[in-house]
Chain A
Amino acid sequence: MNTVVKIENLVKRYKELVAVDHMNLAIEQGEIFGLLGPNGSGKSTIINCLLSLTSYDKGEITVFGEKMRADNYSVKGRIGVVLQNVAVFDELTVYENIDYFCSLYIKDKAKRKELVKEAIAFVGLEDFVKFYPKKLSGGLLRRLNIACGIAHKPELIIFDEPTVAVDPQSRNKILEGIQELNRQGATVIYTSHYMEEVEQICSRIAIIDKGQLVATGTKEELKSMIQTGETIRVEVPEMTDEVLFGLEKLSHVLSVEYNEGLATIKCSGGRHNVLHVLEYLNNTETSFGRVFAEQPTLNDVFLEITGKELRDEVQ
């Protein structure tokens, strides 16, 4: 596999704040690489450094084997960018916006026309080509934003939180579109603070917190890094301390929490954890209601490594 992006020892400071702290990443060709972290963790700063939109204090960034600089136009021509905020011109129609941004990369008029047509079809804006952005709904605007970033068929596409403030239906379309682009051969860097999205589409994930790389790997690799293998939630109307201590002593049980009639039992990766827990409750004549068993999520990974919830940070 070819390394498309290599970030070595990257440091970016904003006065006293270290936004990116000795970051090392390698993104391989054909991947959908997720940058997952709470707001303010440094994801967008990494992207800005990668695109040479901002300077950095230390480190080196290589893209397609070449050192990335603001004047490395040949490399820039192979990258597409879809930013968090919709970056289009209100004074141009849907078609004109896509054609304008495509013209920054493609000079040949006939080729550009073809590419713009394909991009419009890809995001499903055929019925809106003559519309001005202000006439489009939020979801359609997002699609236009994506079309402007991918019309020139880039080999590397960077999506910086493209689904923020998007309705679930449009979000799914966007995620499907990204996977389709990847199938067509594009390497994708996808930043988000929505762990479900990252888990859904990314082949490899880097978890970032406070500008530092917390962990990197496939979702399975990340989940295997933590002790929690399964989380069991049981509705228990009443639970004595004795039962609680007894649950904690069961093999594979890592921790037990009891709050407002819900027992949350974290277990290591052993088999039949649910069975053992329910057997114990039966034996102690503890009545219980519904039972839920979940595999660990990236939130569990984030929680166990950083000691805080990814979701909390999102709020």
Chain B
Amino acid sequence: MVYYLYRVKRLFRNKILFFWSIIFPLVLATFFKLAFSAITEKDWGFDTIAVAVTTEEGSTPDEMLISFLEEMKNEDQAFFEVTETDPETADRMLSEKEVTAVIVVGEETVIKLRENGLDSTVVKTVIDGYLQSKDIFMEAAVTGKLAQVTEAFSDEMETLAVREFKGASKDPLIQYFQALIAMASLYGAMYGLMNSNELNTKANTADVAARRLASPMKKIPTVLADVAAAFTIQYVQFLIIIAYYLLVLKVDFGTINGWLFLGGAAYSLFGVLIGYCIGSVVRQKENIQNALMMGTVMFSSFLAGLMVGGLRITIELSAPIVNRINPATLIADSMQALCIMRDMDRFATCMIGILIWCVALIVVSVLAMGFRQMAEGRRVKNV
């Protein structure tokens, strides 16, 4: 316990770590808020989304899709204004910004989006939901359960439609803030790396590591106390950042509930473990480790849309697997699912992704340390 408390104290007092993991995200968030506040106030407002539906040559028009889109309403306001047209006209409407998206019905239904943003997210989510259900619907026709599935289908579509907007944030900058939280969480890697190096007799902190390793403290409790301390600090910082966004910057985060705080714990642990893993596997000089760690965090955050808004959507459309495995996207997506979409399935999927990552990072770290110890041990022979 003493060891843990001193560890917390040390991490908390480390000015460099404190700056990068908390001050920097807060400053960046403030900058975002100040820079884009005009856009926020001016541009938001729920409007019906114009979409064009077209059918590839030789394919049958999907009447069910058109009816589905036209039927979707938020109270009295229609979600979508649907224009059925030929492919050329649809492309022209998209390029002239008359519609947000073009849905091309063919052997495979394709969505063409005009630009990234909340409207695009809504179109993609709704169409994905529709296509998923459509597969089930068609399968039911083959298995003779058509009536049952039709009823369920209607309910599901209605639920999906409501879910898209109920509790949704009205702040179009939310994706930046989500990516920022993801980045801040992944900065926990700095704590993990620092902890890892303090048990590495080849690091800059070799003398401290030597002193600790020469003591009768067992390695596993030491590592666990280190992880617990780093996690504590990182989680407190997560709470501070959330509080700052909500109370000071007045960012509309959507629905806030207990799951966000549970998620925050997972994000914090995730960040710390990334640092541990880098420290355990890459036994190079610390500047190389730091460069690798910062590069990983920044590239991951970039892919999650920190620098280019809506990049997540672009990746989702072109290479969805990247979003399924990118740490920062998993964090940002889970917040999007939880607070904006209120989609617990998607939240659970993201959390499972984070959990798998955490387990993988622990396994790799332990193996890296274990292999090194085994290699060391094998060399000690009594002759």
Which of A's residues lie within 8 Å of B, judged by CB?
9, 48, 51-60, 70-71, 73-74, 76-77, 79, 81, 83-89, 91-92, 96, 99-101, 103-105, 109, 148-149
Q: Is the CB of A100 within 8 A of B382?
A: no
Question: How many residues does chain B have at the interface if contact means C-beta atoms less than 8 Å apart?
Answer: 27
Q: Does B9 contact A (CB under 8 A)?
A: yes
Nearest-CB residue, chain B, relative to A60 = B382
Q: Is the CB of B210 within 8 A of A83?
A: yes
Chain A's nearest CB lies how many Å from the CB of B215?
4
**In the bound complex, what is the Cα–Cα distance between A290 and B210 (angstroms)?**
51
Q: Does B14 contact A (CB under 8 A)?
A: yes
Which of the residues B3, B13, B14, B213 comes within 8 Å of A103, measured between beta carbons? B3
Given contacts A91-B13, A100-B6, contact A56 B379 (CB under 8 A): yes
Q: Is the CB of A104 within 8 A of B383?
A: no
Nearest-CB residue, chain A, relative to B202 = A54
Report the 5 A-B pairs with minimum CB-CB distance, sorted nearest first. Answer: A87-B207, A104-B215, A91-B13, A73-B216, A77-B216
- Per-residue 0/1 for B1-14: is the Cβ within 8 Å of any A Cβ (1 yes, 0 no)? 01100100111011
Q: Is the CB of A81 within 8 A of B210?
A: yes
Given contacts A73-B218, A92-B6, contact A53 B213 (CB under 8 A): yes
**In the bound complex, what is the Cα–Cα distance between A84 and B11 (angstroms)?**
25
Given contacts A53-B210, A56-B379, contact A105 B215 (CB under 8 A): yes
Q: Does B285 contact A (CB under 8 A)?
A: no
**In the bound complex, what is the Cα–Cα distance between A148 and B215 (angstroms)?**
12
**In the bound complex, what is the Cα–Cα distance between A148 and B11 (angstroms)?**
20
Collect the chain A residues with CB atoms within 8 Å of residue B9's CB. Answer: 91-92, 96
22 A-B pairs, CB-CB below 8 angstroms? A52-B213, A53-B213, A54-B376, A55-B379, A56-B379, A56-B380, A59-B383, A70-B213, A77-B216, A81-B214, A83-B210, A83-B211, A84-B207, A86-B207, A87-B207, A92-B6, A92-B10, A96-B9, A104-B3, A104-B212, A104-B215, A104-B217
Chain B's nearest CB lies how many Å from the CB of A52?
8
Chain A's nearest CB lies how many Å from the CB of B150?
65
**In the bound complex, what is the Cα–Cα distance between A100 and B215 (angstroms)?**
12
Nearest-CB residue, chain B, relative to A96 = B6
**In the bound complex, what is the Cα–Cα distance between A171 and B314 (angstroms)?**
66
Collect the chain B residues with CB atoms within 8 Å of residue A58's CB. Answer: 381-383
The prevalent SS among residues of B at the interface is helix
Collect the chain B residues with CB atoms within 8 Å of residue A92's CB. Answer: 6, 9-10, 13
Collect the chain B residues with CB atoms within 8 Å of residue A105's CB. Answer: 215-216
- Besides A58-B381, A87-B210, A105-B216, 9 new A-B residue pairs in contact (Cβ under 8 A), listed by A number: A59-B383, A73-B216, A84-B207, A86-B207, A92-B6, A100-B3, A100-B6, A104-B216, A105-B215
Collect the chain A residues with CB atoms within 8 Å of residue B211's CB. Answer: 81, 83, 87, 101, 148-149
**In the bound complex, what is the Cα–Cα distance between A105 and B212 (angstroms)?**
10
Chain A's nearest CB lies how many Å from the CB of B361?
25
> Among residues 357 to 378 in chain B, which have CB atoms less than 8 Å away from a CB atom of chain A?
376-377
Q: Is the CB of A51 within 8 A of B214?
A: yes
Nearest-CB residue, chain B, relative to A49 = B380
> Among residues 211 to 257 in chain B, which have CB atoms less than 8 Å away from a CB atom of chain A?
211-218
Q: Does B322 contact A (CB under 8 A)?
A: no
Chain A's nearest CB lies how many Å from the CB of B201?
6
Collect the chain B residues with CB atoms within 8 Å of residue A104's CB. Answer: 3, 212, 215-217
**In the bound complex, what is the Cα–Cα distance between A148 and B310 (angstroms)?**
53
Q: Does B294 contact A (CB under 8 A)?
A: no
Chain B's nearest CB lies how many Å from the CB of A44?
10
Q: Is the CB of A91 within 8 A of B207?
A: no
Q: Does B208 contact A (CB under 8 A)?
A: yes
Given contacts A76-B215, A89-B10, A91-B10, contact A9 B383 (CB under 8 A): yes
Collect the chain A residues with CB atoms within 8 Å of residue B201's CB. Answer: 48, 53-54
